[in-house]
A and B are shown apart, each in its own frame.
Chain A
Amino acid sequence: MVKHQDADRFQADYQLVFENANEGIFVHDCESGAILMVNEKVVEMTGYTKAELCRLTVGDISGRSPAYSAAQAVRKIHAAVAQGPQIFEWVFCDPEGKEFPVEVNLKHIEINGRPRILALVRDITKRKAAENELIKREAYYRKLIENSADGIAILAPDGAIRYLGASTGKVLGYREQDGAGANFFDWMDPADIRRVKPRFKTLERDDETVHTLQFRLRHKDGSWRTHECSCKNLQHDPSINGILLNFRDITERLAAEERAKQRERELHHLTRLSTMGEMASAIAHELNQPFAAVVNYLGGSIQRLKSDNADPAQLLKVMEAAQTQAEYAGKIIHSLRGFLRRSTYQRAPADLNQLVEGVSAFIKIRADDTRATVAYELASPSPRVICDHVLVEQVILNLALNGIEAMAENPPERRRLTIASGRSGRGAARLTITDQGPGLPSTDPEVLFNAFYTTKKDGLGIGLSLCRSIIDSHDGRLWCDEAAGGGAAFHFTLPAAEAS
């Protein structure tokens, strides 16, 4: 009797476990698949009552797709009997017709000596949603990568390709599968490999910074393309496990930049020629002066020698004076030639004061012409800068001539141009050219720097805009403001050269 009571208690306990299990439990007939018993969780999950469920087949509570018909359900049950446990995904449908995914685990058991199928059912709506989201997202990123203009690759430190993004096809002509077993360096210009490999070594020790490299890669079509590449060491990131490369074909961009630079050089050359044209008569005057003096000194000497009226000491003095004049003329020609020379872009340390002195002769010619005075306030020792000295001389000359021109209408005592050099904070030098002219346009001084803005009736208006682009190309800054005593002040800065 006690034993019986125990059995009853066990029975009750199992019932309790059965009802409160967190998964839906069905008991099916092995042959017909009929639902014999369900727990509370199934009621909660499906929305049908126990009584209803025991009258329905699996097909009645399943999704409308033929894949989830009663016959299919019976087939699964028979498989569980014949082959052992079956785990698969299924779709249920609640009384309102709303379908939801479930995972089903079928197991063949015996209950009270009768063969039965126990079905454990878990609602996987959330899991499926997350999975779908993941699939969608992957497709999204895949599309992004495919359509990216950049090539993407993940490399081993030795350059072996671990992954090749789909967009690489567009960038290099290689498909994803071409990456298998290939080495990225196989595609690289050997001249660049020597430079890039050591950078990879550095990269291996550094998983913080994004490194930027430039190298040439051979396109599948055989052409060499220049790529700009950012790479980051993500070997410690398990999702990447390698060096991530994003590379972009900049061949066209470089060519365009080179064309733009070339155009700027030509334009600059043109302006310099036109500036020279404007100054040509003034320079002719400047050259005439010493030549005429030489001719006079010689003429006077010849005349005296002919008339036997020559004092050797006096002649010597005059000859020396003539020599000085001839040398002076030579200097003018020399500086003119250096000035007109078409030069490529260079960067070299230069002495800022010397640059000013290099064009002071030209400034003087124009200043003398308009009876202006030029004051030099040059810092000592002279600031050293990194620049293309010919270009910067051009800027100084342009600004100075503009200043002189701006004062042409002034009374003579207000025609003073000041050129001052100095340091500007750490790592930069500054030059300021101040005039006593009418000052800046009151609305917006920046219009001065627009190309083709001009106040001169025969000016091209490219002077100041060109000056600014020259200074910009030196990583310097060119700006203007009102001078303290009226007039305009133009300033520019240039990077300072390292103290030697």
Chain B
Amino acid sequence: MTGSNPGPDDGVVYIVEDDEAMRSSLLWLVESVGLTVQAFSNASDFLDAHDTTRPGCLVLDVRMPGMGGFELQEALESARAALPIIFVSGHGDVPMSVRAMKKGAFDFIQKPFNSQTMLDCIQAALREGATRFERRREQAAVEAKLAQLSPRERSVLDKVVEGKSSKQIAHELGISSKTVDVHRASIREKFAVKSVAELIKMVLSNTS
């Protein structure tokens, strides 16, 4: 890891690039606009060292010895990382860029690129990264709350989200309406929401 810049936490720009000149020049360029940058020469060093508690974006070379750009993209996907990826390629062939974009890349830039284009793209990716990071945080909070529910409360919640009334829920679960209402109150308390509508919105937007 080389280079870092203290500053307001609008995120970290990660660079993973095996070519030394490309790596150091990119670092030099991105640092020139006062962003926090961390550069790595290979994918696994980056996976080991990057800070998952901060938002950011990733500038990634497609072709690298060892783990390539697409493999790293998949690894981050399965780790549910919130980093938008800007792919950088010397080849820039259409099938490759299509593949990258389909898999959710933020952008695909061909070398050599205009400095301003790259900086603009990084800024946009950082904004996207911050948004994604915020969403991931909310999701994590909802998931944590869901984990606090008892199995019965979880069953009740599922049916509430499906839009069923207490009476229907009581009938389907073979319990009294009163008991259903007790569970619903407990759920609202655990989620700290005032209305059922708010509860449904929170659960639906943060679970898959």
A-side interface residues toward B, CB under 8 Å?
A: 281, 284-286, 288-304, 307, 309, 318, 321-322, 324-325, 368-369, 371
Contacts and interface: CB of A to CB of B under 8 A. Distances in A.
B90 A301 contact: no
Contacts of A288: 90, 110-112
B112 A292 contact: yes
Contacts of B24: 293, 321
A289 B21 contact: yes
B26 interface: yes
A289 B22 CA distance: 7
12 contacts: A284-B90, A291-B112, A292-B22, A292-B25, A295-B112, A295-B115, A296-B115, A300-B115, A301-B28, A303-B29, A304-B32, A369-B63
B77 interface: no
B21 A303 contact: no
Interface residues of B, number: 27
Contacts of B91: 281, 284-285
Contacts of A295: 25, 112-115
B31 A300 contact: yes
A408 to B, nearest CB: 15
B85 to A, nearest CB: 18
Contact of B32 (A284, A303, A368): A303
A279 B119 CA distance: 31
A286 B91 CA distance: 10
Interface in B67-110: 88, 90-91, 93, 110
A299 B112 contact: no
Contact of A293 (B22, B31, B114, B116): B22
Given A292-B111, A293-B25, A302-B115, 20 more contacts: A281-B91, A288-B90, A288-B110, A289-B21, A291-B112, A292-B22, A292-B88, A293-B19, A295-B112, A295-B114, A295-B115, A296-B25, A297-B28, A300-B28, A300-B115, A301-B32, A309-B32, A321-B24, A322-B25, A325-B21
B163 interface: no
A321 B115 contact: no
A290 B112 CA distance: 8
B26 to A, nearest CB: 5
Nearest to B19: A289
Interface in B165-182: none
B111 A299 contact: no
A115 B4 CA distance: 149
B54 to A, nearest CB: 23
User: Among the interface residues B24, B93, B111, which one has the most CB atoms of the partner chain A within 10 A?
Assistant: B111
A300 B32 contact: yes
Contact of B25 (A281, A285, A297, A368): A297
A286 to B, nearest CB: 8
Contacts of B21: 289-290, 293, 321, 324-325
Contacts of B31: 300
B68 to A, nearest CB: 10
Contacts of B114: 295, 299
Interface string B1-45: 000000000000000000101101110111111000000000000
Contacts of B32: 299-301, 303-304, 307, 309
Contacts of A303: 29, 32-33, 115, 119
Nearest to A369: B63
A243 B110 CA distance: 77
A303 B122 CA distance: 15
Contacts of B93: 281
A296 B65 contact: no
A299 B90 contact: no
A299 to B, nearest CB: 2
B78 to A, nearest CB: 23
A285 B90 contact: yes
B28 A296 contact: yes
Contacts of B19: 289, 293
Given A288-B90, A291-B112, A296 B33 contact: no
Contacts of B22: 289, 292-293, 296
B178 to A, nearest CB: 66
